[in-house]
Structure 1
Amino acid sequence: MCKQKKFSLGFCALLVAGFLAGCAQTNEAPVETRGGFGRTATTVDPATLPGAENAGKPGYYTVKPGDTLIRIGLEHGQSWKDIAQWSQLANPNVIEVGQVVRVVPPGTAPGEGRATPTATAPVQATPLPPAGGTASAPAASSTNTSTGSAPTAPSADVASLGLIWPAAGNIISGFNETTNKGVDIAGKAGDPIVAAAAGKVIYVGEMRGYGQLIIIQHSKDYLTAYAHNQKMLVKEEQTVKKGQHIAQMGSSDTDRVKLHFELRRQGKPIDPVRYLPAR
């Protein structure tokens, strides 16, 4: 009886050891990272991923951990739908680390046909009291402190947009290329946010760090972004007019009610205050 019991225990031990060994062999799961619109994507050998032959070429971008198609579009001044189409993505909801996507239209060299900045003098802007007419602290400086260099003059095509202020509040955080890629405008929950210029809505949704976000494309070079909204009043592909009510101010994915407003040229953030009228 003892011998039989010892045999059974030994056999069970062997089974358990074999099971664990099998788990060790099959548990080499690929690393998972956020991809597409925030869903997980699997990393594999980059050489086997779509677009691998274009890695490093101008006009293409290699997906990094944490990327989403929306963020890639914002950083390159393009609609996520255009990038998905140009890259012939079978499923735009999922992109993989190491995958290469096209971020300029096919047949177009990077920077081709882009406007050259002119020597127009910078527009001086003063903050408007917030909605309701109550006084608030002075606006923060919008000087680009990341470089310490003199501001670059606005280009003629920026001036042609005729930008207006998207919200009626004081600036509480100025532009800085490394720490704040736009300006933060104070207000209270529900205050109106308007389109700074006429254009086409290319994104309405959520993005980490931006909360409820709207992106409007004004030309092939310029887009504006409106973040931390409480309620969004437009849809993707919708054409909007300058001054049109597009959202209500909120505090989504941030610590206070405010509008984070960005102006980007070819995906590069630039100080919007210098292109807005005095008020």
Structure 2
Amino acid sequence: MKLGLFNILITLLLLACSTGGHIAPIQERKQPPSQKIAHHVVSKGETLYAIAWRYGLDVKTIAQRNGLSSPYTIFPGQKLSLWTSKPRSKPPRKVAKSNKSSPKTVPKSSSSKPKKPKVKTKAAPKVASGATSKPRSKTKTRAPSNKKSKTQKQAGISWRWPAKGRLLARFSGPNGLNKGIDIAGNLGEPVVSAAAGRVVYAGNGLRGYGLLLIIKHNEQYLSAYAHNNKLRVKEGDIVKGGQRIADIGSSGANRMKLHFEIRKNGKSVNPLSYLPKR
């Protein structure tokens, strides 16, 4: 009896599964797009220059926003505001005023005749006999434009290549995947400073850059050297243009190379517009 009842229950269960019951499939759903980050909590070893580099912001703007002065000392656990733009205030709307009280113009009587304006004639300039008048030329000669020299003059920096290898990847724009250029190299080959300046970051705290150096050249320009195998300078060191600062490696990368960037006021620019032509 029990065996028959058990068979009946199994039959009913199989019928239910074949008609309506089924297992819901498991799907991987992408996370919603992240919102703009408003704050950053400082971690150990971070500098304000490294934080500004991470978010593509100007270090002076972050410092001003958080009431920091040079040399921009920060400490672990400190909460920094990253917002740099303020909402624009809308101008007040202009209300058209009705001109009800404007006086009406009274036409003059037809008896009064308008006076004719006197036209003064200027005497023609006297030209001496035998002299011919030549028109003055207004065209000015312009010097030929030279974009390369103009960029160098704006930077006020004598740039040089940071490594001797061939070019692997070019700049793809400030919002592109490659914010600089990639230069091929072998393990241990020298990396030199592209210009004179001061080291403002040396470490591996920025994801995707490996062992990284950031050098400040003036109030506008910074340069970065990523994926190094060894760093030969530290934060605060003053370096000369062409001085060896690191060894080529593959830290944070899938091959031996140097990733090089130049940023102006926190924004990525094309290094090939600044480096001399090979």
- How would you bin the TM-score normalised by the shorter chain? 0.5 to 0.7
> Is this contact kept in 2: 1:181–1:262, CA < 8 A?
yes
Offset from partner CA, 1:166-211 (integer Å, 9 cap, x none) = 0001110100121100000000110100000000100000111101
| Rg larger for | 2
**Does the C-alpha gap of structure 1 residues 259 and 174 become closer, same or farther in structure 2, counting only changes over 3 Å?**
same
| Residues 121-132 of structure 1 aligned to structure 2 (within 5 Å) | 121-123=146-148
Separation of aligned partners in 2, 1:201 and 1:80: 20
Offset from partner CA, 1:28-60 (integer Å, 9 cap, x none) = xxxxx9832379xxxxxxxxxxxxxxxxxxxxx
State the 1:87 CA deviation: 3.6
Bigger Cα displacement from structure 2, 71-80 vs 185-194: 71-80
> Is this contact kept in 1: 2:49–2:59, CA < 8 A?
no
> Is this contact kept in 2: 1:79–1:203, CA < 8 A?
no
> Is this contact kept in 2: 1:193–1:245, CA < 8 A?
yes
SS of aligned partner of 2:151:
coil
Match of 1:110 in 2: none
Match of 1:164 in 2: 160
Separation of aligned partners in 2, 1:258 and 1:237: 25
Separation of aligned partners in 1, 2:151 and 2:190: 27
Q: Where does the alignment leave 5 or more consecutive residues of structure 2 unmatched? A: 1-38, 85-143
Match of 2:132 in 1: none
Residue identity in the other structure for 1:191: E
Separation of aligned partners in 2, 1:171 and 1:184: 6
SS of aligned partner of 2:59:
coil
Equivalent of 1:189, from 179, 187, 190?
Answer: 187
**Does the C-alpha gap of structure 1 residues 34 and 85 become closer, same or farther in structure 2, counting only changes over 3 Å?**
closer
> Is this contact kept in 1: 2:44–2:75, CA < 8 A?
no
Match of 1:57 in 2: none
Separation of aligned partners in 1, 2:48 and 2:172: 24
Name the Cα RMSD after superposition: 3.4
> Is this contact kept in 1: 2:225–2:261, CA < 8 A?
yes
Number of aligned residue pairs: give it. Answer: 174
Match of 2:151 in 1: 154
What percent of counterpart residues are identical? Answer: 39
Separation of aligned partners in 1, 2:67 and 2:145: 35
1:239 aligns with 2:216: no
Separation of aligned partners in 1, 2:158 and 2:62: 27
Separation of aligned partners in 2, 1:269 and 1:188: 26
1:173 aligns with 2:159: no
Residue identity in the other structure for 1:184: D
Offset from partner CA, 1:77-107 (integer Å, 9 cap, x none) = 43899689844899622244xx42598xxxx
Separation of aligned partners in 2, 1:38 and 1:80: 22
1:201 aligns with 2:199: yes
State the 1:278 CA deviation: 1.7
Residue identity in the other structure for 1:278: K
| Residues 28-67 of structure 1 aligned to structure 2 (within 5 Å) | 35-37=41-43
State the 1:76 CA deviation: 2.8
Separation of aligned partners in 1, 2:248 and 2:40: 28
Separation of aligned partners in 1, 2:197 and 2:81: 29
1:94 aligns with 2:77: yes
> Is this contact kept in 1: 2:186–2:248, CA < 8 A?
yes
